[in-house]
Each structure stands twice: as C-alpha cells, then as structure tokens.
Amino acid sequence: MHVVPLPALADNYIWMLYDDANQAIVVDPSEAAPVEAALAERRLTLRAVLLTHHHNDHIGGAQALRARHQVPVFAPYDERISEATQRVDEGDVITLDAPRVRFQILAISGHTRSHIAYVGEGVVFCGDTLFSLGCGRLFEGTPAQMLSALDRLAALAPETQVCCGHEYTAANARFAQTVEPHNPDLAIRVQQVTTLRAQGRPSVPTSIADERASNPFLRIDQDAIIAWCRQHGAHHDRVSRFAALRAAKDAFRG
C-alpha cells in the first residue's frame, strides 16, 4: 500500500491510499480537484471515500467524488454529513476488496462529538484529533473526552503512521518547545520538520512512537509536563492538566 498526503486548501491534507493494482481510497477530501488530479496522474481508480468528521474542510469534495466515481462514502453517524452512504461507529470494521484493506473504527470525540478514526494497514487516519506535536481544538467535546481519545490513539502500535488532517507541525513545535524545552526527542523532531518544510515536503505522516516521545498532549503523565502544568495552575488530575495545556495552546501566539 502507498499512502500519500495531497495538499488542499490552505493547510489541509487529503489522504490517498492505493495499491499496486491502481485501486485507491481517499480520506477527508476537502475538495475534489486535488483528488482528481492525483487519480489521473497515477492512473488510479477510486473505490471509496472515508470521512472522519463533519467539518467542511474535510468533506467538501465528497459529494462530487461520489457522484463522478459512484463509490461508497463512509462516515460517522452525524446528520451534518449528508454525503454518507454508509455510517460507521465504534467497533465497526470496513473491509474492501480493491484495494484490499481492513479498517477498524475508533470513536474519538473531543474535536467534534461524532469524530472517528480509521485504523488499519499500518496507519491511523485521525482527522483533527491527533496532530503531529499537537491535538485538535475542542469545538464540541470536553477535555475528558479529548484526553480519552488521545489515550486511545497513543495506545496503538508504536510503528503506526499518524495521518492527520493539517500541516500544523511547525506551529505545534513552537508551543511544544515552551512546555518541554529540554526534551531531546522533541529537539530532533523539530530539526526534521524544519528540514522537511524547507524542502517543501510534508511533515507527516509521523508515527505513534515519535508522538509519544515528543508531543506534549500525549505526555500528560511525564514529570516535565506535570511540572509545567503545576506552574500554570493545574495541580490535580490528568484531565485538569490536559485542559491547562490545551487552553495554553489556544492562547499561544509564538
């Protein structure tokens, strides 16, 4: 399987996964044009569309792709996603013959109430829940829900590729360095990202192992993060620490 991020809009990624028989699926197509261009360039046949949540910058191209290619559109149970042909939720499994893929569905509310992730084939398509060196804003969920979602993603196999919805890594890195400035793994990741972006290349996918080593939102129980949270008024449980960290990121302008 080949996994390719297709840049779209200002900073979105549409994820394309295809096999050597030229059979493809796409995840969170914010617009149809980049998908059509990639299909034509690689001579691929689109077989399915997967959606993680209802925001228009993740579903905006789904209707056009469905109409042109006559493919199923998988999505969470959310009336705001009218493009769906098949609804999926926690514990469901999607199996396709072309390309031959199998994805388990994880319910990961927090960014939105109906957000889901697709896990399989060595990757996790996690939309706007987990980012490289960061996490999504809480538009509809609570800190407890988002922390639970991140815990579930962090528990995936270390080698799992994290395929997130936006190119936010450099900005996330600047905040992460203010929280854990002496983390050597973070320093290595920042250098990697700087090099990749200078070359005009995506900073993702990353891996669960790299995120656990350098993403402050997956390191709530580390001593350095606990100390930072205490300095910012979060003296108690994991949820309060996460809430303090997320609030600080919301206000960060570094």
Q: What is the largest CA-CA distance in the chain?
A: 56
232 is catalytic: no
As to burial, measured by CB atoms within 10 angstroms (0-12 exposed, 13-18 middle, 19+ buried), residue 207 is buried
Task: Please check whether residue 166 is in contact with residue 128, taking contact to mean a CB–CB distance below 8 angstroms.
Answer: yes
Residue in 54, 69, 115, 166 annotated catalytic: 166
185 is catalytic: no
57 is catalytic: yes
Choose among 142, 160, 159: nearest CA to 239. Answer: 142
Residue in 28, 54, 58, 69 annotated catalytic: 58
Task: Please check whether residue 127 is in contact with residue 53, taking contact to mean a CB–CB distance below 8 angstroms.
Answer: yes
Residue in 19, 57, 151, 185 annotated catalytic: 57
Q: How many CB atoms lie within 10 A of CB 239?
A: 17
Task: Tell me the CB-side half-sphere exposure of residue 54, using CA atoms within 13 A.
Answer: 15
Residue in 55, 69, 78, 210 annotated catalytic: 55
> Checking DSSP bridges between strand 161-164 and strand 206-207, what pairing results, if any?
antiparallel
Residue in 28, 54, 69, 111 annotated catalytic: 111
Cα–Cα distance for residue pair 72/65, rounded to 1 Å: 10
Choose among 39, 36, 27, 15: nearest CA to 88. Answer: 27
115 is catalytic: no
Q: How many CB atoms lie within 10 A of CB 8?
A: 22
Cα–Cα distance for residue pair 107/88, rounded to 1 Å: 9
128 is catalytic: yes
82 token code pair: 């009218």
- Which are the catalytic amino acids? 53, 55, 57-58, 111, 128, 166
